[in-house]
Structure 1
């Protein structure tokens, strides 16, 4: 429902801004041409990539104003090079003010805020509180615990729940403790019947954190969980495969000059082959050979860690650049054409690491039920991993992707990847 609300707000937001844009062009320039419409559409595609069209999660920050200004200035300059009239800058100046003003108004007066309390005092509370504070839709009020605690955010025990709800106009209760006694269950159910929304920590992770906590997974959960359309919907699988083929062919053609120049520089700047090849585990635990541009010096793998960190001495100077910009990933388009990989999916891991993860991380094998991807939900949501613990955390995001995958989610991941590349956050 939250996603639907966000889409509707975006539609209204863009429609209002287009009216402003069209009026300004008609007044200060020469009218709304096809080129003007194309620039408007392009501008909002870029805004979407930079998460500027999100209204129900991120709070309005100073950096958003800077992003709006840079994007508008860029497109104003582009349009000015075509029509050579100062009216373009007036138009985009008014549009810039309309964008930031309208977004602020929407987030202040349109987006519904839910007042939330936490029931229970566990190690998960701090993570929940951080997420609630960062999310514009939620206002954290405090926590309830039957063990009386001397803390400013402690509100009382379950006996005080009715008073707490009335005094603070509570909309939602997040239950962090796994086991409730009969009195607690009856009390909480009574409030749920009367309209108070209640979610468990497991549901919180999936709804707000957008990951699936592995500690709550068991065989019964796997049988009863809804979703996972990507595993059995053959039509969806065929559409995904067709789009992989089309986009990989197009990208190979478009990026061929970059691929050629990159190969020449690697060959000239360091000894060794142009391409790096390594066995990875893919669909149904089948091994395949991944192809990337070589970004490291030739070395004895037994003398170094299996993980590469940010200041790894093995990485060449040019290698740092192609890793940051993800140019080193371009040869994987061949893996996509061969059918070993997809554009979006769990990141394929080195087979030697995978076999270790399977022994130490429960349900790690689940990520191999779908094709691995060049980019994925874990890659855009979690930093580069250099440990088993990181692999554990990434699996939580991979499972969320597998459960909720659809075309729109794939596009969201691709746009976020573009943003990471633009800011050179890749590793």
Structure 2
């Protein structure tokens, strides 16, 4: 599932473009004062040193831009440019003032003359605006080629269905492409009925490779929402006037049609990236802290059965049906590894270690694949599973 990957990538491109625009603006401002401005100056000109000093401070600018919401999806993908332009102006002023204050309190020499800071502020505003404009144009061209668009299934017998179909077709830059529609004939343009229409959501999900579901009526909303979760898809619904007035969910516009996104998981976009970074950092630290205990457990298992592997590995399916290899400490007796519970209990009965394999198998299944005193588990395995 794409999970707004195109938006995350575009946000990264914006941050990279903003960084380059900021550095270029200060360098250009410096060159204007030293090369173009005919008035004399009383400092040693060193453009490379100045540029490097500014580049080091770029992360602060990016933080300012983020605080002002300039990496918010609603801002950088919105059709109203006034909010973005006004915030870019504010970011340019705040950023330059921050650098001046930083330079003053540290008694540094970042700005040999304050006029460079003024030039930089003006140029930075225009360069950020221009860079963002061109990045949006490039993104629009790419999406018009249906590259990176989210594949949408629309379900519902309302006029909003036909509006959404038309607007997704007319505005590909919104980032959606219709791949299936579950609705009556009267709600689907005639030329798209054979191509897009499906009799049920189940059929559409089976035959279409989708990323998002849009629901335009209130019939079987729980079922549709559950299907979106089961298939790991985004879920939107077109609100009625009552629902819209409550401002529930996250409101977006597809053309002129309002839709509300109901998040199946709170981790999308930048939150997903942040969580992944925390997983890697904290996971590595905790693994290092746990390694002495893990080494002791490995030695205990190895000493109990020297010829057997202490680590057990197998392939599992992840949430998104991707194959993942996992590694665990072996907690089961080696003679019964890789066998079904029924086969293992039957073998133990033949070896005289248990008496009633059928009863144990039934009890195991009835308890949800669990036995409190499972005879296949080693003594160390019981401790591992209990802790």
Normalised-by-shorter TM-score class = 0.3 to 0.5
User: Rg larger in 1 or in 2?
Assistant: 2
TM-score, normalised on structure 1? 0.37
